[in-house]
Copies of this chain bind each other. A is one copy, B any other.
Amino acid sequence: MKHWKVINEKEVFNVKKRLTVSVQKIKLHDGRIIDDYYQVRLPSSVITVARTKKKDILMSRQYFHGFKKVSIVLPGGIIEKGEKPLQTAKRELLEETGYSSDDWQLLGSFVTHVHQVCSKVHFFFADNAKQIAKPLSNDLEDMEIILMTEKEIINAIKNEDIISMGTITALTLAKVILYHKPKPV
């Protein structure tokens, strides 16, 4: 299957390296030329399903301005320059929740919006998480850390208190992978 060829690319919009929009002139697999194929690039990020010894999952209740609602999400964040995904996952878990784990597993890495938006999300599972510090206060957000059982999570999904696609992907990936391999290594 043939790839498309980028004849030229011009950045048309850039916000503090957190969001770039560019327009490409493209030659398709069949030779046709497209003058204005837009691409959006967002930073890569991580999301972690962290489970305590009691099998509770660490989550936070926050206000999300993107869809103007209070919602429950898993800990995670943007990969900073020079960081490996696992380092980001450990840093974000500690900063957001004050918890730490010695038992990490990568659940998978996937790409959002495959046609026009390029951003990678790495999903982790951290078992036997323990509180070792207080959460750091976040610059903008007002958040509340909560421990949830699997049953509470299922109810929160049914009540639309969990609506982040990243959070649902991490939870279902963990469930499917842990179901196939009951003992993570």
Query: A-side interface residues toward B, CB under 8 Å?
Result: 1-4, 12-13, 15, 18-19, 21, 26, 28-30, 34, 36-40, 42, 61-68, 70-71, 73, 108-119, 121, 140, 142, 144, 157, 163-166, 168-169, 172-173, 175-176, 179
Q: How far is the CA of A22 from the CA of B113 in the complex (A)?
A: 19
CB–CB A40/B64 < 8 A: no
Taking the nearest CB of chain B, how far is it from the CB of A94, in angstroms? 20
Taking the nearest CB of chain B, how far is it from the CB of A84, in angstroms? 18
CB < 8 Å neighbour of A29 from B12, B142, B165: B142
Taking the nearest CB of chain B, how far is it from the CB of A24, in angstroms? 8
Taking the nearest CB of chain B, how far is it from the CB of A12, in angstroms? 7
